[in-house]
Amino acid sequence: MDYNTTRKPLILPEYGRGVHQMVEYMLTVADRDERSRMARSVIAIMGSMNPQIREQSDYKHKLWDHLFIMSDFRLDIDAPYPMPSRESYAVKPEKVPYNSRNDIRHKHYGRIVEELVKVASDMPEDSHRDALKMMIANQMKRSNLAWNRDTVSDEEIFNDLNALSKGKLSMQLGTKLMDARDLKLGAQPNSSMSAGGKKRKKHRKK
């Protein structure tokens, strides 16, 4: 039996073995004009097999590059684009510089919350700062509920916020955060509470 595991590995598996065999056959054709004609036909097949590639602005150039790659850079034809060099595809991409900091005090809140706390700590004391504090505290409560436990008190959140801000952000006495049920349902912070923790009145048209 002829199994794929015993066949030559495909260079670009997304095009299938049939297209690879067409490319291999083109390499055996002596007439350059005939090879070029066949290449255009194969490009049309490749484009129909991967319609998502058409969303890219340079998709035709990419298809021709793929054709040359499948030929192991040996296909001598008249093409609308030059054959890419083998070296350009042998270069490995640079490593992504991952952030390896381990100094997050409360990892379940995440680094973004810490950055927001820093921003709020440097703001002048006004209504905008109060609104940002409320938004941060509600987000901290949402994160706490998502990662740690089913219930968390507002007092615990306020203590964590105070610790993260090194005492610069504190809540007024009697401030209430959003209900845990609303946070789990994905309600937006401050949708029913003002910066001071009071519920907003809904005005109905008469």
Predicted pLDDT of residue 195: 43
72 pLDDT tier (thresholds 50, 70, 90): very high
Judge whether 94 and 153 are in contact, CB under 8 Å. no
Q: How far apart are CA 35 and CA 43, in angstroms?
A: 12
Same domain for 77 and 137? no
| Domain, as residue range, for 131 | 110-184
Same domain for 76 and 125? no
Same domain for 132 and 167? yes
Residue 201 within any structural domain of the chain: no
Residue 116 within any structural domain of the chain: yes
* Over residues 125-153, mean pLDDT: 86
Q: Which has the minimum average pLDDT: 47-61, 150-164, 176-190?
A: 176-190
Residue 96 within any structural domain of the chain: no
Predicted pLDDT of residue 104: 63
| Model pLDDT for residues 161-170, shown as the tens digit of each residue | 999 998 899 8
Residue 204 within any structural domain of the chain: no
If one counts the domains in the chain, the total is 2
Judge whether 113 and 121 are in contact, CB under 8 Å. no
19 pLDDT tier (thresholds 50, 70, 90): very high
128 pLDDT tier (thresholds 50, 70, 90): very high
Same domain for 139 and 179? yes
Q: Which two tokens stand for residue 31?
A: 């007439």
Q: Is the pLDDT of residue 150 over 70?
A: no
Same domain for 116 and 170? yes
Same domain for 70 and 21? yes
Q: Mean pLDDT across the chain, nearest whole number?
A: 82
Q: Is the pLDDT of residue 193 over 60?
A: no
Residue 195 within any structural domain of the chain: no
The total of other beta-carbon atoms located within 10 Å of residue 46's CB is: 23
205 pLDDT tier (thresholds 50, 70, 90): low
Same domain for 81 and 132? no
Q: Is the pLDDT of residue 204 over 80?
A: no
Q: Is the pLDDT of residue 198 over 50?
A: no
The count of C-alpha atoms lying within 13 angstroms of the C-alpha of 42, restricted to the half-sphere facing its C-beta, is 30
Does the CA dihedral 127-133-137-140 come out positive or negative?
A: positive
Predicted pLDDT of residue 188: 47
Same domain for 16 and 79? yes
Residue 180 within any structural domain of the chain: yes
Residue 1 within any structural domain of the chain: no
More confident position, 123 or 92: 123
Residue 115 within any structural domain of the chain: yes
More confident position, 128 or 184: 128
Predicted pLDDT of residue 172: 86
Same domain for 16 and 82? yes
Q: How far apart are CA 131 and CA 67, in angstroms?
A: 57
